[in-house]
């Protein structure tokens, strides 16, 4: 799930006949409401089929080159978009029709939608049938709106549109694809130089099936590929996708174990996160910017590996965790905990444990952190109480609950786990101490001091309108017994000496 609307949701429900379906809700007109699936960018023909029940105009099914989907921003390419206008379906703005008549699509009725896309000639076409299988509309073969390699399939709503859409029996197939897999035994925790020789034209390469695998690249034609791969397991799983003629194969694989990096100086903390720790004004970005003046500078190096708009799945699938694992020197520290705001699914807990196990396999120690609190703005404004002049906005979201659960489990059984950095609850306490001391901080009232903190937040996730809130989270406040992020990391680093 993606989008700034906290009320959006996707739910599995039962229909009146007992069959299961997914309902996606976009209840308020925010910028983006969407269920997005990272996909292998099409290289030839890919067919998406789904039972769909439309309820409101503005519902879209789209292939895009960026995540999350934002239908009217120039920096997003949307080469293929199927849209419901309340009465009919359009594909790239051309209406579907049958026997000379525009196809009439009713709300609250199931249809089978078949969307076909072909990267080889950048065309697309669609067919819609009623629940009895009879075609009621189809399009001509249309050109893509933009030339790109779309890597997300989105179902949701246009900007400013609201409503719900029901989905069932979704499927995506590449009829002409031919895949090959190659499993190789390796030493767990080592890094290898891998030379792969291909027969035929390679379109897509993957490493490991964990979390759907991460993509190595897309090549129209090549004979070999050379990769540097960290191996957190004792098997290296290579997988490729064939060209449109279906002849690509892995002909040969050569492995050379590389000597692990040796630390030349201080231990390094690699922080993994999303925009709540990587965006402008976030605690990790600000800490990185002024690191030389930080108390941590004498103890460790700090690398902010966070990327906005990612969750545990997409961070992995785009090879970002692979880069972190490759850069770990034994004894380094991986700090993780900020990857739920852009979506989580039923495997979130397993995925978080995979990240931790993979980092430990490469020789790292682990720190888990909670999330920053929600900014007391918009739907979260009630997080500041004007009667008591206090904040209570630390996250109770499902992902933060899972993060705390995993931290407790690791503390009981994992020798490589250093401890937990409490950001959200401590931030509330630190903000409250700052507000209570309003006179010393030059404010006329508690509420004025609170507003200075609240104004730092662009929205409830991002605080890049001023660095006061960030500095309080990082360094705490003298009258508050709860330590800030920096002091907590300092304490945990003492366990590595």
Q: What percent of the chain has pLDDT over 90?
A: 58
Name the phi and psi angles at 252, rounded to 5.
-160, 145
Statement: residue 411 has pLDDT above 90 = yes
Own/partner contacts of 85-91, CB < 8 Å, gap of 24 or more, are: 85/57, 85/58, 86/56, 86/57, 88/137, 89/113, 89/126, 89/128, 89/137, 91/115, 91/124, 91/125, 91/126, 91/139, 91/142
Q: Which of 359, 328, 365 is nearest to 497 (CA)?
A: 365
- From residue 283, how far is each of 2, 271, 288, 443, 464 by CA, in Å? 22, 11, 8, 24, 10
286-316 tens-digit pLDDT: 999 999 999 999 999 999 999 999 999 989 9
Cα Rg of the chain (Å, integer)? 25
296/307 Cα distance (integer angstroms):
22
Statement: residue 276 has pLDDT above 70 = yes
Looking at residue 226, what is its pLDDT?
84
Looking at residue 112, what is its pLDDT?
94
pTM: 0.68
272/199 Cα distance (integer angstroms):
37
Pick from 185-189, 248-252, 372-376: least confident: 248-252
- From residue 89, how far is each of 83, 160, 484 by CA, in Å? 6, 19, 53
Looking at residue 173, what is its pLDDT?
80
Q: Please, which pLDDT band fits residue 358 given cuts at 50, 70 and 90?
A: very high
Looking at residue 30, what is its pLDDT?
64
184/328 Cα distance (integer angstroms):
22
Mean pLDDT of 488-493: 97
213-238 tens-digit pLDDT: 887 766 655 567 788 999 999 888 88
Q: Please, which pLDDT band fits residue 4 given cuts at 50, 70 and 90?
A: low
Looking at residue 150, what is its pLDDT?
85
283/290 Cα distance (integer angstroms):
11
Count of C-beta atoms within a 10 Å radius of residue 84: 26
Tokens of 88: 């009919």
425-468 tens-digit pLDDT: 999 999 999 999 999 999 999 999 999 999 999 999 998 889 99
78-117 tens-digit pLDDT: 889 999 999 999 999 999 999 889 999 999 999 999 999 8
Q: Please, which pLDDT band fits residue 118 given cuts at 50, 70 and 90?
A: confident
14-70 tens-digit pLDDT: 999 899 999 988 877 765 556 778 777 777 778 899 999 999 998 999 888 876 556
Asked if residue 282 lies in contact with residue 423, where contact means CB atoms within 8 angstroms, the answer is no
Mean pLDDT of 71-80: 70
Looking at residue 222, what is its pLDDT?
59
Which residues make beta-bridge pairs with 21? 13
Looking at residue 295, what is its pLDDT?
95
363-374 tens-digit pLDDT: 999 999 999 999
Statement: residue 130 has pLDDT above 80 = yes
* Average pLDDT score over the chain: 88
Mean pLDDT of 204-211: 79
């Amino acid at each position: 799930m993606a989008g700034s609307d906290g009320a959006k949701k996707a739910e599995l429900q039962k229909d009146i006949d007992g069959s299961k379906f997914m309902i996606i809700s976009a209840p308020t007109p925010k910028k983006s409401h969407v269920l997005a699936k990272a996909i292998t960018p099409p290289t030839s023909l890919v067919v998406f089929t789904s039972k769909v029940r439309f309820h409101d105009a503005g519902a879209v099914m789209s292939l895009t080159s960026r995540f999350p989907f934002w239908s009217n921003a120039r920096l997003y390419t949307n080469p293929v978009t199927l849209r419901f206008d309340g009465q009919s379906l359009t594909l790239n703005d051309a209406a579907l029709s049958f026997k000379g008549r525009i196809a009439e699509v009713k709300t609250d009725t199931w249809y089978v939608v078949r969307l076909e896309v072909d990267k080889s000639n950048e065309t697309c076409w669609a067919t819609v049938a009623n629940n009895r299988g009879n075609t009621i509309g189809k399009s001509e073969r249309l050109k893509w709106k933009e030339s790109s390699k779309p890597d997300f399939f989105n179902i949701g709503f246009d900007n400013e549109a609201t409503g719900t859409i029901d989905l069932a029996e979704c499927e995506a197939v590449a009829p002409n694809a031919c895949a090959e897999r190659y499993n190789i035994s390796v030493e767990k925790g080592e890094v290898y130089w891998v030379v792969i020789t291909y027969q035929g034209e390679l379109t897509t390469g993957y490493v490991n099936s964990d979390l759907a695998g991460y993509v190595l690249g897309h090549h129209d034609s090549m004979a070999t590929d050379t990769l540097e791969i960290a191996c957190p397991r004792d098997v290296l799983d290579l997988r490729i996708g064939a060209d449109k003629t279906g002849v690509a194969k892995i002909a040969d694989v050569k492995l050379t174990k590389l000597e692990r990096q040796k630390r030349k100086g201080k231990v390094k903390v690699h922080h993994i996160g999303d925009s709540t720790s990587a965006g402008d004004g976030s605690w990790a970005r600000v800490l990185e910017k002024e690191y030389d003046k930080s108390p941590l500078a004498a103890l460790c190096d700090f690398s902010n590996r966070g990327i906005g708009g990612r969750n545990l799945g997409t961070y992995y699938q785009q090879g970002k965790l692979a880069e972190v694992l490759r850069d770990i020197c034994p004894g380094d520290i991986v700090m993780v905990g900020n990857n739920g705001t852009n979506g989580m699914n039923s495997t979130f807990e397993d995925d978080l444990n995979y990240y931790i196990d993979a980092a430990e396999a490469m020789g790292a120690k682990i720190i888990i952190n909670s999330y920053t609190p929600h900014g007391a703005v918009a739907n979260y404004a009630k997080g500041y109480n004007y009667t008591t002049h206090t904040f209570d906005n630390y996250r109770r979201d499902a992902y933060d609950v899972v993060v705390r659960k995993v931290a407790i489990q690791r503390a009981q059984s994992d020798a490589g786990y250093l401890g937990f950095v409490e950001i959200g609850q401590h931030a509330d306490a630190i903000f409250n101490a700052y507000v209570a001391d309003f006179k010393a901080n030059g404010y006329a009232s508690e509420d004025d001091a609170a507003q200075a903190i609240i104004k730092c937040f662009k929205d409830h996730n991002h605080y890049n309108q001023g660095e006061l809130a960030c500095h309080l989270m990082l360094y705490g406040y003298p009258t508050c017994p709860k330590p800030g992020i920096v002091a907590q990391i300092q304490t945990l680093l003492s366990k590595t000496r």
